[in-house]
Structure 1
Amino acid sequence: MATELSPQVPDHDAARTQSNTSLPAETVTFAHRIFDAAREGNTELILQAVDAGLPVNLTNEKGNTLLMLAAYAGHVELTKGLLQRKADPNRLNDLGQSIVAGAVFKSHDEVVRVLVEAGADPRIGKPTAIEAAHIFARKELMEVLGAKQGDIGADVPISPSARPEK
């Protein structure tokens, strides 16, 4: 279940709580620290907090989970630790982006492998992880993602920088 912090904090992460009521400033500050720690790969802090009761699927005001922030930043050990604690590898953020597609986009191949092994669906979100691998000509990831014929529609472009030289 998602949670939501006070929306009065401009241009910074806020967690979602079960209601739309404002939370104490200390709680908001703690949430900022936790989301920053996920981006920074502070595995010890994040996993201790989750083990102490912090919801493993806590989201910020953009719908990004701790797992999404850690994976997007390429933190393999934190990604593994969150998955071991039952973080959902298939949560989409508010823009409909998947965690595994973000890892593909950022070229974090080991994170992609860890997410796929944990059950991340490479066919959810927009673009899907398979589409992202195609767009950026990441052929080595297509097999990891289990790409099949029909996964790439005619409307999915390929990056000009990924096109072969003529």
Structure 2
Amino acid sequence: MSPPPPSDDIDPRALAAAREAFNLARQGNADTLRQMLDAGLPVNLTNEDGNTLLMLAAYSGQADVAKLLLSRGADATRANDKGQTPLAGAAFKGDVRMVELLLDGGAPVDGAGPDGRTALMFAAMFDRIEVLELLLSRGADPERQDASGNTALIAAVMMGAPRAVARLDALAK
């Protein structure tokens, strides 16, 4: 659920600082973001789309920022308003390093948003074979189904992801 829309009584300086923090997370400026966290910026601050600083860092491939946020207690399981998790975002992008960081930081390997899609399903759909292998090695369940009853293999077939189809089909036999 998103926070209520900003009201006129919110300090414009606080809004500007929040916007800056989200930009820093996307751009990978861990040093300035660390200073803002030290000054009291909430580590799980969310924007108007429900994206946390960690979600933006994960999706943007900013490993140093993700490490910083995780070390400060960022919630690696928190989904945005579309139900997307940082791990799913990193899997979609094919960012092996970020997937490792998030798993090591507490993201459940089979965690899913309301649609039931896991990071393994995103890796399979977009033929991100290196991420798929990492998730499998960490215990991802290839038989898990999303809300529509689809497994990672079915998702890979539907999206035309040949390497993922071959790997997941071999597991099913």
Measured against the shorter chain, the TM-score band is 0.7 to 0.9
Which amino acid is 1:116 matched to?
A: L
**Alignment equivalent of 1:121, drawn from 86, 108, 112:** 108
CA distance in structure 1 between the aligned counterparts of 2:36 and 2:97, rounded to whole angstroms = 25
Which of 72-81 and 141-150 deviates more? 141-150
Residue 79 of structure 2 corresponds to 92
CA distance in structure 2 between the aligned counterparts of 1:55 and 1:29, rounded to whole angstroms = 14
Whether 2:127 is the aligned partner of 1:137: answer yes
CA RMSD across the alignment: 2.1
CA distance in structure 2 between the aligned counterparts of 1:134 and 1:45, rounded to whole angstroms = 36
Give the TM-score normalised by the residue count of structure 2.
0.77
Residue 11 of structure 1 corresponds to none
Give 1 or 2: higher helix fraction: 2
CA distance in structure 1 between the aligned counterparts of 2:5 and 2:16, rounded to whole angstroms = 10
CA distance in structure 2 between the aligned counterparts of 1:87 and 1:110, rounded to whole angstroms = 18
**Alignment equivalent of 1:75, drawn from 55, 58, 62:** 62
Which amino acid is 1:69 matched to?
A: L
SS in 1 for 2:74: coil
Whether 2:50 is the aligned partner of 1:63: answer yes
Distance 1:4 1:48, change over 3 A: farther
Which amino acid is 1:115 matched to?
A: L
Give the TM-score normalised by the residue count of structure 1.
0.80
SS in 1 for 2:155: coil
Residue 16 of structure 2 corresponds to 29
Which amino acid is 1:137 matched to?
A: D
**Alignment equivalent of 1:150, drawn from 121, 125, 143:** 143
Q: How far is the alpha carbon of 1:118 from its aligned partner?
A: 1.2
5 Å matches for 1:40-51? 40-51=27-38
SS in 2 for 1:157: helix
CA distance in structure 1 between the aligned counterparts of 2:109 and 2:9, rounded to whole angstroms = 36
SS in 1 for 2:24: helix
SS in 1 for 2:34: helix
Whether contact under 8 Å (1:58, 1:65) holds in the other structure is yes
Percent of residue pairs identical: 41
Residue 13 of structure 1 corresponds to none
Whether contact under 8 Å (2:30, 2:64) holds in the other structure is yes
Whether contact under 8 Å (2:94, 2:131) holds in the other structure is no
Whether contact under 8 Å (1:131, 1:151) holds in the other structure is no
CA distance in structure 2 between the aligned counterparts of 1:143 and 1:51, rounded to whole angstroms = 37
Q: How far is the alpha carbon of 1:148 from its aligned partner?
A: 2.4
Q: How far is the alpha carbon of 1:111 from its aligned partner?
A: 0.5
Q: How far is the alpha carbon of 1:51 from its aligned partner?
A: 1.7
Distance 1:5 1:50, change over 3 A: farther
- Equivalent residue pairs, number: 149
Whether contact under 8 Å (1:5, 1:23) holds in the other structure is no
